[in-house]
Structure 1
Amino acid sequence: MRALAAAAITAALALTSAGAAAQDGEAGGAGTLTIGIDQFPSTFHPSINAMLAKAYMHGLTRRPVTAYGPDWDLVCMLCTEVPTLDNGLAEKETLPNGDTGIAITYKLHPEARWGDGHPVTSEDVKFAVRVGQHPKSGVPGTEIYERIREVEVHGPKRFTLHIDRVTFDYNAFSMPLLPAHLEREVFDADPAEYRHRTTFQRQPTNPGLYNGPYRMASVERGSRAVFEPNPEWHGEPPAFDRVVVRTIENAAALEANLLSGSIDMIAGELGLTVNQALKLKERAGDRFQFAFKPGLIYEHIDFNLGNPILKNRKVRRALAYAADREMIVQQLFGGEQPVADGPISPLADAHAEDVPTYGHDPEKARELLDAAGWDDKRRGIRHKDGEPLRLTFMTTAGNRVRELVQTTLQSQWKAVGVDVRIANQPARVFFGETMAKRDYKAMGMYAWLSAPRSVPRTTLHSDHIPTADNNWSGQNYPGYTNKRMDELLTRIETELDTQKRHELFAEMQRLYAKDLPALPLYWRAQAHVLPTWLTGFRATGHQFPSTLWVEQWGRSGAQ
């Protein structure tokens, strides 16, 4: 009865949301494309708080210097040519301490401009690096910025980055640029408060923030953002007069809005699971296009290693053995999304096969919990020194799939004597505050995306643990510290020999499996549900969203 009631409530919420959206008259209008996603950004600043919803919207409005394209090749977006050692735009150089660094010269597109007409220049690069290097700016992944010894400006459209080491992906300069003419004064006034006073936060519709095909015309925080063509865009003009991105945090509501015509498409990056999309295809396959793209998207659970229970590696391993992840992917995703055993995708060349795995073994889980001292059982819950084995489990509220995974794991862990309490939050709070400030009590479930050639330094290196002292910079939310892991991550990046690099990657993956700072769940695939008339769309399957090529999208024929 409870399940039926919950289903009825979900259906009612879905229909209510669809009806409200229909009154807007957004989808299907001449020149309008309306997209549904399931999250809303906590901030629009491109360098603060890594969040896919923001990256998806910025794909419409902003361009990095380089990016990995749909074919997983590195391409120029704001530059005119990818620098390489072969073409002479990259050169090794000897550092004052005798080490080897590299100088990489980029040429910005001569017509690249911000939406207020101000040119995109080398000064924007220099300012973005200065913000990223400041310890109080709140920018995560500061190691990337700290490696830049100097930004040498040769002119408005030409600059050289002097990097303190030679990495195998030395020319992938994808960090976001910042409009210095708008942001410099705000930053200089108080770097520690910059994240709250940035123009992206106070005036997100300021055209000078955007250099892509569209610029943000209006925004209703938590609900939707409207984008209109950027008259200063230097590339191919986009086909749509308006793009509306609506946030609908419930999968059933997303489907209902799609079927009612209130939205035109559901983004594969932030929408339905593969299984949900396959079921929708069975019911309405003739009404939409369906594009399925295996991806570098890693759903997992971060363990807060500051939690006194989770500090014990035996407990973390017990939780892994007690979790029947294979059953989860079979029942929820029809086996279309494989179980994850670590942070390196089987699709990546660096993936290692000889990595320890945690198959479903409840008896092994019980043995580990006994060995960890949690052997006093009271009413089905384990205790130690009179305290129950109780953990809080958080994720993004309203995400039906994650909530199903949660309740399934909660039941499986209870079977071995672990009491798990669920406490979910809206995505913008969960990502913007709770995870960013390591304010989750025990476990936080979400996904990391990576580029085709990516080293998980910002999530695993001890230098990237967010703290109040570094203004919550970094993405190592578990607080994981292992000297050997730090060494491996550094050596991987600087090893240019592919075979040797893969050997280091393999050791890194084995160490990850041994320490288990997070519980891998499954590798997600993107399930894009598109209107039949949409042309030019290409899924990427990695951290650079499909919207980065929105100017290639269009309409076919009369509608």
Structure 2
Amino acid sequence: MKKIILNSLICLLFLAIALSSCNGNSESSALVMAVESNPKSLDPRVGNDSISARIHQLLFNSLVKKNERFEIIPNLATFEESPDHSTITFRLRPGVKFHNGRELTARDVKYTLDSILNGAVQSPYRGDFIKSDSLRVESVEARDPLTVVLRIRGHLPTLLTSLVPIGIIPEGMSNQDAAQKPVGTGPFKFVSQAEQQQIDLEAFDGYFENPPSIKRLRIRLIQDNAVRQLELKRGDIHLAVNTLFPPDVVEAMKSEPGLKVVITNGTNIDYIGVNVTDPILSKREVRQAIAYGIDREQIIREVWRGQARKAISILPPEQWAFEPDVKSYNHDVAKAKQLLDQAGYTDADSNGPQPRFTLTLKTSSNAFSRQIASNFQDQLKKIGIELKLESAEFATFQSQVIQGNFQLCYLRDIGANQHVDIFQNLYHSRSIPTAAKNYSEGRNRSRYRNPEIDRLIERAESTGNEMEQKELYRQIQKILAEDLPQIYLWHPSNVVIASNRVGNINIDPSGSFFFIRSLTFSEAPLKESSE
């Protein structure tokens, strides 16, 4: 009897080892990627945070997309705008299939867009398509199975850009399913989700472009930098893309065995927002003095550890309308002091401890943002400006900025500066947010007013000629570089930390997740026996 029990236990032990080995092999076949926050929603009509938008790029396709110069080009459809801007006609690619096997038709596009326009889904994108009763998408017509016509009241020059993040879902899909069991046409299809933990995807072999090389992709939420770093070292995570590791941690991980660090130019921009209605900051000489007083090169070198590049415009250099020939501000203490003198803020005690004036800079409570702000404080002290620092958790900080309750603030723009629409949204006087309209008009939080800028923006939006637009945007950037409603600082780099098992890492400057489709992932090496 004892022998039978012993044999049974041995069999169970071998079975457990075999199952464990199978599970291990299954796990090793999935590329595991870490993200630093939970997506707001997997529904592409709802999730507008950066993590949601990146995951949507894996699951869905939109009608149009951006190329490497951030021009709008076809994705699911070619497009043609009527000369009077009253219609845009889209012609869908034939043969595109959803993950459930259904073929994409114009009715799916109509259903997706109608649900946003009619409020069937509470979409943060609705305001992009309905500006007012006289400025809006009026209707969406499925003219035939492969033709969609958008009818527009007024002129919406930003409409094509607004369509970029809108992934198309199948007709009839409920809001609940779109958020919890999404179906798209993208390179990966949804498998399962453990909320606040992980999302499992698998390659869609029916993808209309080249299907992914990676067959299984697991996206894990790991908010803590230290835990994310540890799991990368152990090999439990294989990929982390722009997950907000401090620059010194990134540098340290370059020497970790089994890992690779890929750093490329990014397009996001950090800047100092300036409230130009403030009595001191309303003077252009003061704003220019601050720009000269900040030593960007030193901060990029010593704080960013080289993981950023200097910015001279709101647009990144890759953008088709970027103008390189604008006034730039290399660190120049003497020039900064001269400008402050011209503004009427003389040095009363000749380089003594008494400041010319005091300003307050607001930041989020993020430790790295506060470190950057501390550098600003030290540098501006050398030109006679006392800088007080205030930080708050992000929601409070953002609310203060939107309401104009600040003098200076340290901000980052993610993605929006890839489009020329940014000029209307940040600098046109009609985009100044007001309490009367619940601060919904736009993002001109500097409260900047310049009739010439308004005129140039309106002309650029009204013409369909790219060369004419480029000239108008060139003039706009030159004026902004002189006026400085914002003080441009740097473009943070894209940072990819990956296992040596991950290959073909070619992230584009926008930092999108499109490159994941082309990654390779080798088998895990066998562990050596300890015997």
TM-score, structure 1 normalization = 0.71
- Structure 1 residue 298 displacement after superposition: 1.8
CA distance in 2, matches of 1:471, 1:181: 34
Cα distance, 1:328 vs. partner?
1.7
Q: Which amino acid aligns with 1:64?
A: S
Q: Distance in 1 between matches of 2:266 and 2:389?
A: 28
Contact 1:105/1:160, CA 8 A, preserved across alignment: yes
* Equivalent in the alignment of 2:219: 244
Aligned equivalents of 1:509, 1:232: Cα separation in 2? 45
Do structure 1's residue 413 and structure 2's residue 401 form an aligned pair?
no
Cα distance change, pair 314–454 in 1 and its aligned pair in 2 (3 A)? same
Change (3 A) 1:68 1:515: same
Match of 2:523 in 1: 557
Q: Contact 1:395/1:446 (CA < 8 Å) preserved in 2? A: no
Partner of residue 260, structure 1 = 234
Tell me, yes or no, if structure 1 residue 506 matches structure 2 residue 469: no
Shift in Å at residue 324 of structure 1?
0.9
d(CA) in 2 for partners of 1:233, 1:218: 26
In the alignment, the residues of structure 1 paired with residue 86 and residue 302 of structure 2 have an alpha-carbon distance, to the nearest angstrom, of 50
Question: Aligned partners of 1:114 and 1:304: how far apart in 2?
Answer: 48
Q: Distance in 2 between matches of 1:140 and 1:517?
A: 25
Task: Return 5+ residue gaps in structure 2 as ranges.
Answer: 1-22, 526-531
Alignment of 1:176 onto 2:166: yes
How many Å separate the matches in 2 of 1:91 and 1:102? 6
Shift of 1:391: 0.6
- Is the Cα contact below 8 Å between 2:129 and 2:159 reproduced in 1? no
CA–CA distance in structure 2, aligned partners of residues 417 and 171 of structure 1: 44
Q: Choose from 510, 513, 522 the match for 2:490.
A: 522
- Deviation per residue, 1:396-442 (Å, 9 max, x gap): 614x3x443222112112333333333444557656x5556656563
Aligned residues of 1:37 and 1:267 also touching (Cα < 8 A): yes
**SS in structure 2 opposite 1:121?**
helix
Partner of 1:128: 116
Check whether the contact 1:324–1:360 (CA below 8 A) recurs between aligned residues. yes
Q: What's the CA shift string for 1:293-323, capped at 9, x where partnerless?
A: 3232222122234545434433322221211
| Of 115-124 and 256-265, the range deviating more from structure 2 | 115-124
Aligned positions of 1:221-370 closer than 5 A: 224-229=197-202, 236=211, 239-248=214-223, 250=225, 254-268=228-242, 270-272=243-245, 277=250, 279-281=252-254, 283-284=255-256, 287-333=258-304, 337-370=308-341
In structure 1, the partner of 2:82 is: 92
Q: State the Cα distance separating 1:508 from its structure 2 match.
A: 0.6
Partner of 1:5: none
- For residues 429 and 210 of structure 1, the distance between their equivalents in structure 2, rounded to whole angstroms, comes to 36
Unaligned runs of 5+ in 1: 1-24, 84-89, 95-99, 184-198
AA aligned opposite 2:220 = V
Alignment root-mean-square deviation, CA: 4.5
Q: 1:301 to 1:130 in 2, by over 3 A?
A: farther
Q: Give the Cα separation in 1 of the matches to 2:328 and 2:473.
A: 16
Cα deviation, residue 160, structure 1: 1.2
Instruction: Kindly provide the CA deviation profile for residues 135-189 of structure 1, in whole angstroms up to 9, marking residues without a partner as x.
Output: x968665688946454333256631124555969968841425868578xxxxxx
Match 1:33 to one of 24, 31, 34: 31
- C-alpha separation between the residues in 2 aligned to 1:436 and 1:50? 18
Task: Give me the whole-angstrom Cα distance separating, in 1, the residues matched to 2:298 and 2:397.
Answer: 27
AA aligned opposite 2:513 = T
Which residue identity lines up with residue 261 of structure 1 in the other structure?
G
Report if aligned partners of 1:394, 1:440 keep a CA contact under 8 Å in 2: no
Cα deviation digits, residues 29-58 of structure 1 (max 9, x gap):
334433334555667775679643332233
Distance 1:118-1:538 versus aligned 2 partners, 3 A rule: same
Q: Is the 8 A contact 2:266 2:509 kept in 1?
A: yes
8 Å CA contact 1:229, 1:238 repeated in 2 = no
What residue identity is the alignment partner of 2:429?
Answer: S
Q: Which has the higher contact order (CA 8 A, sep 6+)?
A: 1
Which residue identity lines up with residue 476 of structure 1 in the other structure? Answer: N
The residue aligned with 1:548 is 514
Partner of residue 425 from structure 2, selected from 446, 458, 466 = 458
Alignment of 1:409-448 (within 5 A): 409-426=376-393, 433=399, 442-448=408-414
Contact kept, 8 Å, 1:64 with 1:175, in 2: the verdict is: yes
Q: 1:191 is matched with which residue?
A: none
2:241 alignment partner AA: A
Identity %: 18
SS of residue in 1 equivalent to 2:142: strand
- Normalising by structure 2, we get a TM-score of 0.74
